[in-house]
């Protein structure tokens, strides 16, 4: 549990040393945003491990005499003797690592759309949260935190009841597998397939391990009751999330429909600014920029080109009067053929 604290201290020490030593050897100093981003990357990669260790004092299993002990330290009797020390350390570690770091990243994801536009350093501080995901799924790092904490909480519920824990783990993995397949949030297809395969393997391993578990005949009714409560809770949470997402989407749709001319004018100025910068670049430089983008980002750019080409064609032909649904159908069609048509038109213009 001390590894995250040691990591922070070590990186801050190296940062301070770089401020003194780097100028002597004419080397670049460590920057604070990059240093904290490195710390965040390590904390994020170890989050499920940290959560498991922090929640360890709460994993008490029952003895035949009515007492209970910590599952990893059988000599420590829960709620007696030295257990208070373990309990205090567990509460502190959970508050700082599991809950505190989660709250910090949740706040960062909440303000990310505004803060990243106003403060470039914000993106450098929290790059570990966003850089692996598509731009329209920037918040998916928080979903991974929820998934990790949920899986780390399984050993606490029903200690000594393996069947219950297997079912809970299967339900959690299945729930997030559905979210993963519906959103495909990672930047590359390989990462999406890998994450999907990992969740599927967790479900298969959990289901397969139930064959080797002990039968719990005397607690079967309790286990079934807890499983039903847990499954019902997951259904309720899913319904709440779906309702919240639907409400948010409806609000955003209403805001989008009621957007005034000033907002459109501001977007037009942004388009003009970007196009001026692109015109100042050579074709080779633009190609290099596209090569640096992720697979889904390239598809987004191509769809934008297809849509703009279609709208400009309608504007020049004088046939702008088309229903919104038809325009979306045309612009959302196969981008490969439309993209090829755009490339052929560009080639004609350069001749």
Helices (H), the chain: 3-24, 32-45, 47-54, 83-93, 101-118, 120-125, 127-130, 140-153, 162-183, 189-209, 220-257, 261-279, 283-292, 295-317, 324-331, 335-350
Give the pLDDT of residue 259: 58
Give the pLDDT of residue 334: 42
218 contact partners, CB below 8 Å, separation of at least 6: none
Give the pLDDT of residue 216: 47
Give the pLDDT of residue 143: 92
Does residue 83 contact residue 77 with C-beta atoms inside 8 Å? Answer: yes
Give the pLDDT of residue 279: 80
- Residue 13's Cβ-count burial label (10 Å; 0-12, 13-18, 19+) is exposed
Token readout for 196 is 């999907």
Give the pLDDT of residue 173: 87
Burial 304-338 (b: 16+ CB within 10 A, else e): ebbbebbeeeeeeeeeeeeeeeeeeebbeeebeeb
DSSP of 79-130: TSTTHHHHHHHHHHHIIIIIIIHHHHHHHHHHHHHHHHHH-HHHHHHTHHHH
pTM score: 0.63
127 contact partners, CB below 8 Å, separation of at least 6: 37
Query: Among all chains, which residue has been given the structure tokens 């999406």?
Result: 192
Taking only Cα atoms into account, the Rg of the chain, rounded to an integer number of angstroms, comes to: 27
Give the pLDDT of residue 140: 92
Give the pLDDT of residue 255: 62
Give the pLDDT of residue 350: 45
Smallest CA-to-CA distance from 41 within 9, 6, 7 is with: 7
Token readout for 314 is 């309608």
Give the pLDDT of residue 337: 42
pLDDT in tens, the chain (351 residues): 567 778 888 888 988 998 888 888 888 888 888 888 988 888 888 888 888 888 888 888 788 887 888 877 888 888 887 888 888 888 888 888 888 899 999 999 989 888 887 887 888 889 899 888 988 888 899 999 999 888 888 888 766 677 778 888 888 888 898 898 888 899 888 888 889 888 888 888 877 766 565 544 445 555 565 566 566 556 656 666 666 666 666 666 666 556 566 777 787 888 888 888 888 877 777 888 888 777 777 888 888 888 777 777 776 666 554 444 444 444 444 444 444 444 444 444 444
Give the pLDDT of residue 257: 59
């Amino acid at each position: 549990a001390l590894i995250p604290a040691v990591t922070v201290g070590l990186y801050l020490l190296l940062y301070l040393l770089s401020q003194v030593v780097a100028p002597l050897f004419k080397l670049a100093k460590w920057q604070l945003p990059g240093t904290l981003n490195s710390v965040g990357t390590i904390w994020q990669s170890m989050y499920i491990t940290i959560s498991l260790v922090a929640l360890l004092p709460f994993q008490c299993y029952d003895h035949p005499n009515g007492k209970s002990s910590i599952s990893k330290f059988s000599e420590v009797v829960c709620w007696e003797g030295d257990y208070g020390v373990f309990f205090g350390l567990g509460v502190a570690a959970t508050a700082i690592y599991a809950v505190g770091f989660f709250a910090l990243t949740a706040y960062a994801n909440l303000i990310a759309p505004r803060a990243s536009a106003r403060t470039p350093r914000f993106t450098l501080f929290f790059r570990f949260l966003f850089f692996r995901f598509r731009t329209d799924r920037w918040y998916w790092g928080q979903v991974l935190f929820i998934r990790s904490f949920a899986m780390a909480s399984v050993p606490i519920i029903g200690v000594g009841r393996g069947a219950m824990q297997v079912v809970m783990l299967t339900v959690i993995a299945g729930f997030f597998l559905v979210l993963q397949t519906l959103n495909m949030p990672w930047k590359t297809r390989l990462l999406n397939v890998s994450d999907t395969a990992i969740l599927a393997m967790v479900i298969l391993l959990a289901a397969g391990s139930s064959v080797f578990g002990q039968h719990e005949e005397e607690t079967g009714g309790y286990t079934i009751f807890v499983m039903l409560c847990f499954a019902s809770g997951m259904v309720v949470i899913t319904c709440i999330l779906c309702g919240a997402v639907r409400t948010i989407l409806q609000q955003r749709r209403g805001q989008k429909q009621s957007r005034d001319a000033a907002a459109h004018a501001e977007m037009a100025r942004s388009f003009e600014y970007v196009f001026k910068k692109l015109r100042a670049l050579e074709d080779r430089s633009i190609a290099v920029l596209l090569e640096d983008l992720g697979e889904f980002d390239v598809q987004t750019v191509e769809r934008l080109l297809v849509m703009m080409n279609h709208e400009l064609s309608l504007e020049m032909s004088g046939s702008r009067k088309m229903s919104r649904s038809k325009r979306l159908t045309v612009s959302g069609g196969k981008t490969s053929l439309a993209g090829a048509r755009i490339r052929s038109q560009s080639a004609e213009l350069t001749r």
